[in-house]
Amino acid sequence: MRDLETAEARLTADNVSIVFVKDGQTIFSSGKTGLRPLVEAIQIQDETLEGSSMADKVVGRAAALLAIYAKVRSVYASTIASGAAQLLDQHAIPYRYGSMVKHILNRDGTDICPFEKSVRDTDNPEEALQQIVETISHLSSKAKIG
């Protein structure tokens, strides 16, 4: 659990939104928000993430499914959704958090986060990764049009 404590401390000290720590060393961190940096970490360092501890500002079901996919050892979330906590429990991944909420909302706070919607019907991490990547692509193309 020492890596989890280190990851949690670096989340705040380094002013990042996500950090992975393994054997006391930061192996990935990013200041970008949303799920993009978590997907980036998986795409860049997929096998390296296995056995690491992840600290993230917000962990909903989507992020929990990606953490399961990456085979992380433990998770810290400043804010965690109850559904994410359930998934981590089911996969025997220890976690700590600052506060728990029922749902992760979109940036405007007007609806459920689009990534949470994209994975609401799956508990399969591989399927979730594909759906999240498709949602990122869809949101990116929509932003370019609008």
Kindly list the distances between the CA atom of residue 105 and the CA atoms of 10, 55, 127, in Å, as whole numbers in the listed order: 25, 19, 21
Which of 1, 98, 102 minimizes the C-alpha distance to 61? 102
Q: Could you tell me the residue range of the domain that residue 99 belongs to?
A: 2-145
Do the Cβ atoms of 41 and 28 come closer than 8 Å? yes
pLDDT digits 0-9 by tens, 32-50: 999 999 999 999 887 899 9
Do the Cβ atoms of 56 and 92 come closer than 8 Å? no
Do the Cβ atoms of 65 and 119 come closer than 8 Å? yes
Taking the whole predicted model, whether its pTM rises above 0.75 is answered as yes
Q: How many domains does the chain have?
A: 1
Cα–Cα dist 81/60, whole Å: 5
pLDDT digits 0-9 by tens, 103-134: 999 989 999 999 999 999 999 999 999 999 99
